[in-house]
Amino acid sequence: MRFDVIVIGAGAAGMMCAAQAGRRGRRVLIIDHSAKLGERIRISGGGRCNFTNRNVGAENYLSQNPHFCRSALARFSQRDFITMIEKRRIAYHEREHGQLFCDESAQDIIAMLKDGCDDAGVQWAMPCAVLHIERIENHEEGLRFAVATELGSFRCQSLVIATGGLAAPKIGASPFGYKIAEQFGLRVVPPKPALVPLALAPETLGPLKPLAGASLDAGTHCAGGSFRENVLITHRGLSGPAILQISSYWQMQEYGGGKKQPVEIDLLPDLDAAAWLAEHHRSKALLSNLLAERLPRRFAHEWCALFGWAKPVNELSQRELDAAAQALKGWALLPSGTLGYAKAEVTLGGVDTVELSSKTMEAKPAPGLYFIGEVVDVTGWLGGYNFQWAWSSGWVAGQVA
């Protein structure tokens, strides 16, 4: 069978692209290996889908080319997607940091995207595994690609790869998109788990065991990234939103080839710790009790014991007070790795943006071949940014594919 456009991957980016191409009068087929539509959407945001963010800009994304995402985000912005949501009359609400969620269910988003495809005449092949893809040249009909699947062979002018990354392997994540990119000569930035809990080595984790389960509002800093949210000490390492956010920056260091720097945790983000301790330098109170005014009591006591500062403030030397202030504002912990793709929200890295047009998402070495969504080396912060990249990149490809 012959189509104008074949989209492989029926996720957020794939359905957006297919619907847009179909609305232009293109004959579109969307293929997905899963029997369940939009599973990543369905399970996101605790089942309510953090579908975008009020504040979206290139600074909210990591990439080897941080400017690449600007064009797509400008041409189809968060405001454009909010307009789609409101036109559909999907109720939503805003949480901290501009995050937008459905009031009812992520299923509302999936239904909107599916109906958009159906209304545009998009045809579906799912569940359907793709066996292989070949480049062809049919100049009379403009066909460029042959896609062999378990349901038969299809040909098309434009082929869009929207197969995502490696995060959440339990619901079908695979390296399919990267393999197709390499097949057609495109460079792939090595993928890594991102927005993921960080693991600590046994020698680091051992002394921290008494802190396991402690949760606190803190700042995190690493490799140019800085976040202020919740930090959780776990029996395996570090987690919580602030850690998930900074994990992407910690991972990015590997691309530079140098030695990885530790993650620094600011335990008193609203306070000048050195000045505060100086004010209390004559206090007979235990340092842990003083800190318990600002931090969870159990954490304050165990943290002071960890450093050997379980004594009254007035018995601490100036050197110890300086060390305490420094540790409170920059508690440095060097992760041994991450908890992997099974715990990751998204994938860092992907198809190198140098190989793609920022205006169309078309592969420069392979005319007619497009890559959109998570498979591309554009990774957003936690908070709806990755869905917005899916909508934006899918929309721009759908205008031209």
For 194-235, the pLDDT digits (tens) are 999 999 999 999 999 999 999 999 999 999 999 999 999 999
φ and ψ of 315, to 5 deg: -100, 0
Q: What is the mean pLDDT of residues 359-378?
A: 98
The total of other beta-carbon atoms located within 10 Å of residue 59's CB is 9
pLDDT tens per residue across span 242-290: 999 999 999 999 998 888 999 999 999 999 999 999 999 999 999 999 9
- The β-bridge relationship of strands 99-102 and 2-8 is unpaired
**Prediction pTM value:** 0.95
Report how far residue 130's alpha carbon sits from residue 132's, in angstroms, rounded to the nearest whole number. Answer: 6
Q: What is the pLDDT of residue 182?
A: 97
Report whether 125 contacts 31 (CB < 8 A).
yes
pLDDT band at 292 (very low <50, low <70, confident <90, very high): very high
pLDDT tens per residue across span 46-55: 999 999 999 9
pLDDT band at 27 (very low <50, low <70, confident <90, very high): very high
Check pLDDT > 90 for residue 309: yes
Check pLDDT > 80 for residue 140: no
Q: What is the pLDDT of residue 231?
A: 98
Q: What is the mean pLDDT of residues 103-122?
A: 98
Q: What is the pLDDT of residue 318?
A: 94
Q: What is the pLDDT of residue 141?
A: 82
pLDDT tens per residue across span 316-351: 999 999 999 999 999 999 999 999 999 999 999 999
Check pLDDT > 90 for residue 40: yes
Q: What does the block give as tokens for 378?
A: 């554009």
Check pLDDT > 80 for residue 139: no
Q: What is the pLDDT of residue 52?
A: 98
341-370 burial, b at 16+ Cβ within 10 Å, e below that, comes to bebbbbbbbbbbbebbbbebbbbeebebbb
